[in-house]
Structure 1
Amino acid sequence: MLTIILECRDNEAELAQTLSALVPGAVEGVVRDVIVLDHGSRDGSPEVADAAGCRFLTQWDIGDVLRSARGDWLLFLEPGARPLTGWVDAIVDHVAVSPGPARFRASRSHRRPFLQRLVRKTPPLEQGYLVSKRQLVTAIRPGMALADIARGGRPRDLVAEIVPAWAVKAMRADVAG
């Protein structure tokens, strides 16, 4: 039903966190495959992806990647982002009733400061992006990034939250510092 796609570059720790949060979806049979599109990582990202059973691509054509996805729906995530409890049911419910794109709600515990939310638009993948593969394949142009794809459409909010990648990085920095 669902293919998850991430782009990374030297995101070993973040990739591990995101992939561990996806385990419930794999256990329930909702996640069919995970594809990691690499932009020249020099850390352990390939090993993390391999250990999790992901396809790790260092060269790709985005159209070929989308066509090769096993799921009928695609979920784009940033490395480090963690969907919270209930994400699997929220996606299954959305797919059952809506053909359009969706995104997670921002975690109430991990929101950007108020002024940042007023001044800056939310980055396109900060809350993930769920879209039907059928809707997407014809609209893809060579060289597009996942964020470019996520800028299109008007996604609905899923009834599940996500801890965005920036918040995970900030928490790790607090612990290290």
Structure 2
Amino acid sequence: MISGLILVGRPADAAIESLADTLSALVAGVAAGLVGDAVIVTDTASEALETIAEGSGASLVVRPPGTDPWSAGAAAARRDWLLCLEAGDIPSEGWIRSLDRFVGTARPDLALGRMRRPHARPPVRLAAWVESIVGVGRPRAGDVVRRSAVLAGLPFAPRLTARSLTARLEQA
């Protein structure tokens, strides 16, 4: 099973609809037995985020300034694998099978799988391409990563090799 980490990067009130879309998309993973819990990670708390977290059964983590959002979320996650998402990310059809296959067959030394994010800005896509060559130093949205790797500290040392997954993320 995996934990879904959802980063709310823009002001909380503006991200409510996007967050709801992402949480709704994870329901299919819960029904399939793949997603065990969700953690919403934000810079600032808001009543709306607290209401959504409580209503969906997700944990809400308000990260201290200057800390890595994925590390803050990993500390609250309850599963061995983390699916890193941004509010508004919607996994496309077939994502459950792809992630289930990856976490079920990943070797102990392979700790990161990467979903395609065609909607990402060009600098983010370029950075992901470079990381496919030199290795991944820190997780980004669209990654499926072992919780232990994130909790061990960032940047990853040594850098992790990312396995490209057939699943992709769309933007709501």
| TM-score (ref. length: structure 2) | 0.72
Q: Is the 8 A contact 2:39 2:76 kept in 1?
A: no
Alignment of 1:57-72 (within 5 A): 57-59=61-63, 65-72=73-80
1:121 aligns to what SS in structure 2? Answer: helix
The 5-angstrom pairing of residues 21-36 of structure 1 reads 21-36=25-40
1:125 aligns with 2:125: no
1:25 maps to a residue whose letter is: G
**Equivalent AA in structure 2 for residue 139 of structure 1:** G
On the 8 A contact 1:75/1:130 being kept in 2, the answer is yes
Displacement of 1:26: 0.6
Distance 1:87 1:67 in 2: 25
Amino acid at match of 1:4: G
Residue in 2 aligned with 1:173?
none
1:105 lines up with 2:116 in the alignment: yes
CA positional deviation for 1:7: 2.2
Q: Given that residues 41 and 72 in structure 2 are in contact (C-alpha distance below 8 angstroms), is that contact kept between their aligned partners in structure 1?
A: no
Separation in 2, partners of 1:77, 1:24:
16
SS in 2 for 1:85: coil
Aligned twin of 2:59: 55
Q: Which runs of 5+ in 1 are unaligned?
A: 141-147, 169-177
Instruction: Return the match for 2:100 from 82, 92, 100.
Output: 92
Query: How large is the Cα RMSD of the aligned pairs?
Result: 3.0
2:3/2:36 contact within 8 Å kept: yes
- The one-letter code matched in structure 1 to 2:115 is F
Distance 2:17 2:112 in 1: 28
- Please state how far the C-alpha of 1:52 moved relative to its aligned partner: 1.2
- Give 5+ residue unaligned stretches, structure 2: 130-138
Quote the offset at 1:122 in angstroms. 5.1
Query: Are positions 1:158 and 2:165 aligned together?
Result: yes
Output the amino acid matched with 2:51: E
Q: In 2, Cα distance between the equivalents of 1:74 and 1:118?
A: 20
* Change over 3 Å in CA distance of 1:105–1:96 after alignment to 2: same
Normalised by the length of structure 1, the TM-score is 0.70
SS in 2 for 1:71: coil
What count of residue pairs does the alignment treat as equivalent?
150
In 2, distance between residues paired with 1:58 and 1:12? 15
1:111–1:78: structure 2 CA closer, same or farther, 3 Å change rule?
closer
Displacement of 1:27 in angstroms is 0.7
The AA in structure 1 aligned to 2:32 is: E
Cα distance, 1:121 vs structure 2: 3.4
Q: Structure 1 residue 154: deviation in Å?
A: 3.2
**Identity between Structure 1 and Structure 2 (%):** 25
Over residues 52-100 of structure 1, what are the superposed CA-to-partner deviations in whole Å (9 max), with x where a residue is unaligned? 1101122568757524421110111011011111111111101122233
Q: 1:12 to 1:41 in 2, by over 3 A?
A: farther
